[in-house]
Amino acid sequence: MATEFRYRSNKKVIPKYVITPNETLEKGAAYLLLIQPTFQSQSGKMMLHGVYVEVTVQP
């Protein structure tokens, strides 16, 4: 689940998302977050490219 927030930076509004996992993540484990290029903001704006981010859960 992704929640969209907006904040201002140099007079420009930039969307920011908080990703909430469906299941509890294990402490000390590493995960790969994949965001498909079909992901849309709540206003319907689509991404141009997909992205992946490595996430490590702190023990």
pTM attached to this predicted model: 0.54
pLDDT digits (tens, 9 = 90+) for 1-53: 556 555 566 667 767 777 788 889 999 999 998 888 887 777 888 878 888 88
Q: Report d(CA 9, CA 28) in Å as an integer.
A: 33
**Length of the chain (residues):** 59
Q: How far apart are alpha carbons 33 and 55 in whole angstroms?
A: 7
Rounded CA gap, 48 and 39, in Å? Answer: 9
Looking at residue 19, its pLDDT comes to: 79
pLDDT on residue 30: 92
Answer yes or no: are the C-beta atoms of 4 and 13 closer than 8 Å: no
pLDDT at position 27: 92
C-alpha to C-alpha distance for 43 and 59, rounded to whole angstroms: 36
